[in-house]
Structure 1
């Protein structure tokens, strides 16, 4: 179903202002039509009364033989004159003071059949309001007394006046609408364009680059928002660096106690107890090393450098293939990205080792896309359940539940990989291929696409 209300700020404000403008114009047209209809109806009554008095005067002075011809000449399609022995309008005189005993009344007509019809009692007030406004069809009756006990009866039918929009009003409305929308577009563009730039910059921001300056001339509120986001980005960077240093310090300080405990464990005489203690300490040692790897991976201390990702993946694949299944690398030309070589190499190693261990090998494609470098790692395994594609990036999550280090790590490999890629302004997404196997899609900014 197509959305009627636009999603953008510019579109929504334009939609609301346009709706308000059209509503105001509609009310103005309704008021204009109401007044115009009332004026037309008053003019019709006055003209009919004047015709009736003129015909009455002519009948009073003319011989009876010419009465029929006078009435025939006065009749028209909507106004009928007749001489009767009974008055058409009963009651007291209600005409102008200049016309003695002139009586008038208005009766409602059906808007469909044009015949006399009484409106429902519940809608009588509405019909009366429409009658006064001159928009309801009515039959206007006049009775004028003549000599010899005769009555001149007049029945005039007034239909609803046609709605006519003068060209000047239509032109003024269209011109006003164009001017309002043009001014609205120019004004809102000064707000929405810097906001769009700010959103794009915030989306590309990483630990190395702050938010760019908003263009000069932007509204004060937009510049305040940009400065607030820059301060927030700085606080987040400082907080992450503090956490990274803390993790590195904890991991480093735990190495010595674990090593000392392993030496003491070797002195335990009971073989089963000794082996269990050493296994636990080995697992603790692996967790410490993994924590240090995580800290080194998101640290900003290492310099950024332009690296050919295709060459980096080829060297890493050749190294891993010496001790595991084959990894095929496809790259038609160099793909340059600005990265920290050691952390990114560690992230790629985690993904390639998973492909070797769980997928029996992999085919890696390195290519350029619009504004980004892309690495596709397709393994030859069975894939994983769709509900686990995102869960595997949670720390200490393992799909293999034996908790044995022989069948898997401690569940920090993929979280570390994603943290490293995020620190580079990149992303990693897992998906199952229709033909079978798991695909890891890695996206990184190209060297020329990174913000300054």
Structure 2
């Protein structure tokens, strides 16, 4: 049943309802069928003794030569009567005699199946001699209870073929014995067309009700899941309707409150960062003016260099905060075209950047933010890894933008530290060679807002920086893509374009 836990709410609800229906109906049918069988057997036994009493009184009043015609006229397909001079005390032998008598053709039977289309059985269902010999072997003749046989004649009773066959031997006034054998007709199987139709109709009604109830629960949950996924990618999500059952409506209400609080928190944090960066401009300008009064040229140069570095860090922080305040709209773009344009811009600046063009992918993202993240990674590869070879490849659940270089790579112990703001592994602190240390921080923040991440893989010939984006953002698969919306597999053909190397 583990597979059931991975199904939707509607499938689980309907499946469990149908299982409960089949089990309950089966138990109810078994109980009612057992009660019905017991009632039918009791009625058949009562009718058998009533007929035996009536037939005994009749034979006691008619002449001996009319007894046999009376018995033949009273027989049915499941009840046979015969006279003997004595009755055997061996119950097993009498049962075999009863089976033979029941197999005797009925003389007064009229077969209507040849004249009409009525579904009447042309042959009676009779006991099998071998089965009768095996059953009831531990039972012998017994005297019937007075409530069943109130007549003065002596009578002996037994069962055969378990409890479906009834046998009775009655001693008449002239010393002869009247033998009666009756066989209960098969009442049919409990699993018949009526029971199947009843269960099917009940299952259909319960399934319709279950689908209606499950849809009222699952539809808001699917809407909530989609909004949560979009919110996790940093998209502006409108408040979801707070409808449905009480629990689902309260969940939607809590999600809307959480979304508002998160948006307010991010906006307040970004505005505070922008305000701090803006307020730092005044003391920096004051320090620059005061450094002009320093008479030592070397000390003045060092002061101005430090002030310029602080100014650059402040401007970068303000620019980052300003862009974060802008809520860029999420829209579908051609991801390969975006990456290719970044590589072409870098190649136009005579930087060693190459782009392996593959198939087209339409992806939902915030283009400006994603462009900045990719550009930061490409510029880092050119600055520290001598070159940047950019490509797009498919993963099991992601679309990966791979930036490969031929640099020394980043030690495993420092791969997490480089994502911290203002952290540089280049130790010269030269603005022309190391920047301010915000590039990778911005790149990972943007990728995680889209539901992805940034990873490093170091090899013998260089390092690969992988920018992963989830497949959920794919809108329109390109030619050769699979049904899951991911780019094609091994059949992809790459083409390297626009490669520039400095002289």
Instruction: Using structure 1 for the length normalisation, give the TM-score.
Output: 0.61
Query: Offset of 1:313 from its aligned partner?
Result: 0.3
Query: How far apart in 2 are the matches of 1:104 and 1:382?
Result: 105
Q: 2:439 aligns with which of 413, 421, 424?
A: 413
SS at 1:355 equivalent: helix
User: 2: distance between equivalents of 1:142 and 1:334?
Assistant: 87
Which residue of the partner structure matches residue 67 of structure 1? 86
Question: Deviations 1:45-90 (Å, cap 9, x if unpaired)?
Answer: 446656876898899999997336996864554779xxxxxx8448
Counterparts of residues 28-177 of structure 1 (less than 5 Å): 28-46=28-46, 49=49, 66-67=85-86, 74=98, 77=129, 88-89=141-142, 93=145, 95-96=147-148, 98-99=150-151, 163-177=189-203
| Structure-2 separation of matches of 1:334 and 1:58 | 99
Q: Distance in 2 between matches of 1:180 and 1:387?
A: 60
Indicate the larger mover: 290-299 or 277-286: 277-286
Is 1:189 aligned with 2:218?
Answer: no
Distance 1:256 1:36, change over 3 A: same
SS at match of 2:466: strand
- TM-fit CA distance, 1:245: 0.9
Contact 1:211 1:229 in 2 (8 A): no
Cα distance in 2 for partners of 1:397, 1:102 equals 112
Aligned to 2:3, the other structure's residue is in SS state coil
| Aligned-partner Cα distance in 1 for 2:209–2:466 | 49
Residue ranges of structure 1 left out of the alignment (5+ in a row): 81-86, 115-136
Alpha carbons of 1:447 and 1:290: their partners in 2 closer, same or farther (altered >3 Å)? farther
Query: In structure 1, what is the Cα distance between the partners aligned to 2:30 and 2:414?
Result: 62
Cα 1:358–1:47 change in 2 (3 A) is: farther
Distance apart, 1:317 and its partner CA: 1.9
User: What are the ranges of 5 or more consecutive residues in structure 2 without an aligned counterpart?
Assistant: 68-81, 101-128, 134-139, 478-503
2:267 equivalent to 1:248: no
Say if 1:387 and 1:146 are closer, same or farther in 2 by CA, change over 3 A: farther
Q: Which residue of 2 aligns with 1:23?
A: 23
Deviations 1:119-161 (A, max 9, x none): xxxxxxxxxxxxxxxxxx5699988785999999999999998
What is residue 122 of structure 1 aligned with on the other side? none
Match among 298, 309, 312 for residue 338 of structure 2: 309
237, 249, 269: which one pairs with 1:210? Answer: 237
Partner SS for 1:440: strand
Give 1:398 shift.
7.3
Cα offset, 1:357, TM superposition? 4.6
Q: Is the 8 A contact 1:309 1:366 kept in 2?
A: no
Determine if the alignment matches structure 1 residue 318 to structure 2 residue 347. Answer: yes
Q: Contact 2:391 / 2:401 at 8 angstroms: preserved in 1?
A: yes
Structure 1 residue aligned with 2:205: 179
Contact residue 59 and residue 67 of structure 1 kept, 8 A: no
C-alpha distance in structure 2 between counterparts of 1:283 and 1:138, whole Å? 105
**Within 5 A, what are the aligned runs for 1:361-372?**
361-365=387-391
Q: CA deviation at 1:13?
A: 1.4
Alpha-carbon distance in structure 2 between the residues aligned to 1:150 and 1:447: 98
Distance in 1 between the 2:383 and 2:172 partners? Answer: 122
Distance 2:423 2:185 in 1: 83
SS at match of 2:86: helix
User: Aligned pair 1:327/2:327, yes or no?
Assistant: no
- Displacement of 1:14 in angstroms is 1.5
For the structure 1 residues 67 and 233, does the alpha-carbon distance in structure 2 shift closer, same or farther, using more than 3 Å as the test? same
Q: In the alignment, which residue of structure 2 is the partner of 1:132?
A: none
Q: Note the aligned Cα RMSD (angstroms).
A: 6.1
Residues 1:42 and 1:319: Cα distance change in structure 2 (over 3 Å): same
d(CA) in 2 for partners of 1:385, 1:2: 43
| CA-to-aligned-CA distance 1:157-195 (integer Å, 9 cap, x gap) | 999986433422321221221232134324433543354
Kept in 1, the 8 Å contact 2:404–2:462? The answer is no
Stretch of structure 1 that moved more, 344-353 or 149-158: 149-158
Instruction: Check 1:296–1:170 CA distance in 2 against 1; reply closer, same or farther (3 A cut).
Output: same
Answering whether residue 455 of structure 2 is matched by residue 430 of structure 1, we say: yes
| Partner of residue 298 from structure 1, selected from 301, 304, 324 | 324
Distance across 1 between alignment mates of 2:150 and 2:217: 68
**What SS does the aligned partner of 1:441 have?**
strand
CA distance in 2, matches of 1:196, 1:212: 14
Give the drift of 1:17: 1.7
- The CA distance in 2 between the partners of 1:152 and 1:278, in whole Å, is 134
Q: How many residues align?
A: 401
Larger of the two Rg values belongs to structure: 2
* 1:437 to partner: Cα distance: 4.1
Answer yes or no: is the 8 Å Cα contact 2:84–2:178 preserved in 1. no
Alignment deviations for residues 319-367 of structure 1 (CA, whole Å, 9 cap, x no partner):
6754xxx1112457898987574x5554223211332355442222479
Distance 1:47 1:373 in 2: 82
Shift of 1:240: 0.8
Per-residue deviation, 1:316: 4.2
CA distance in 2, matches of 1:281, 1:105: 118
